[in-house]
Structure 1
Amino acid sequence: MNAIPKLLIVAGIALIIVGLIWAGLGRFINLGRLPGDIAVEKGNVKFYFPIVTCIVISIVLSLVAYIAKWFFK
C-alpha cells in the first residue's frame, strides 16, 4: 500500500477516536473553558481567546505525531 492511502486511513481512524473521546469526556472536561483562557466582557461585547486550550491541544497533537513517527518509519 502506498504511503498516502495509509496516512489517510490512520488519520480517519484517529479522528474517529478523538471524536468518541471528546464526546465521552465532554461531560466531565470542559475543554473550551479551561482556567487560563482569556474571556473579556464589556457591555455587549464579548471576547474569548482559549490560549490554554490551544496549548493543551498542541501538546497532545505533538505527542500523537511523535508516537506516529515510530510506526511510519
Structure 2
Amino acid sequence: MVSFDWQLSVRLTPEVSDHQEREFIMSRWFIIAGAILLVIGVLMHFAPWLFNWFGRLPGDIRIESERSRVFIPITSMIILSVVLSLLLSFFRR
C-alpha cells in the first residue's frame, strides 16, 4: 500500500518490495520532469521574450564565421545551475 503526503516523500507499507519502492519513486520523478519540460516548452512557444537573455550574457562565448557558428553559454549555464540547485534544495526540505 502506498500513501502520499504533501512533500515529495512516500510512505510504503511492508508488503511493498524495495524494487517496487524505487520504481515508484523513479516514475514519479519522470512525471515531474515531463511536466516541467512541458511548461518550459509552452512558455518558449507562447512567450519567447522570456528567454531572450539566455546566451546573451557577458561571459557567453559566440564565435561566428562564414561557414560555422560556435556557441558556448558559460555564464547562462552557471546561472541556470545556481537557480536549479536552489530550487532543488528548497524542495528537499
Give me the TM-score of the superposition, normalised by structure 2: 0.54
Asked if 2 retains the 8 angstrom alpha-carbon contact of 1:34 and 1:52, the reply is: no
| Aligned-pair Cα RMSD in Å | 2.5
The one-letter code sitting in structure 1 at the alignment partner of 2:57 is P
Structure with the greater relative contact order (CA < 8 A, sep ≥ 6): 1 or 2?
1
Q: Which runs of 5+ in 1 are unaligned?
A: none
Rounded Cα–Cα distance in structure 1 between residues aligned with 2:32 and 2:76: 19
User: Within 5 Å, which residues of 2 pair with 1:45-56?
Assistant: 45-56=68-79
Residue 20 (structure 1) aligned with residue 20 (structure 2): no
| Rg (Cα) greater in structure | 2
Select which of 27, 33, 45 maps to 1:9: 27
- The 3-state SS of whatever aligns with 2:50 is coil
Larger helix percent: 1
Could you list the per-position Cα deviations for residues 2-57 of structure 1 after superposition, in whole angstroms to 9, with x for gaps in the alignment?
Answer: 55235313422321232122112212323653423211113323211011221132
Residue 33 (structure 1) aligned with residue 55 (structure 2): yes
Give me the TM-score of the superposition, normalised by structure 1: 0.64
Q: Provide the identity percentage.
A: 20
Q: How many residues align?
A: 70
Asked if 2 retains the 8 angstrom alpha-carbon contact of 1:38 and 1:49, the reply is: yes
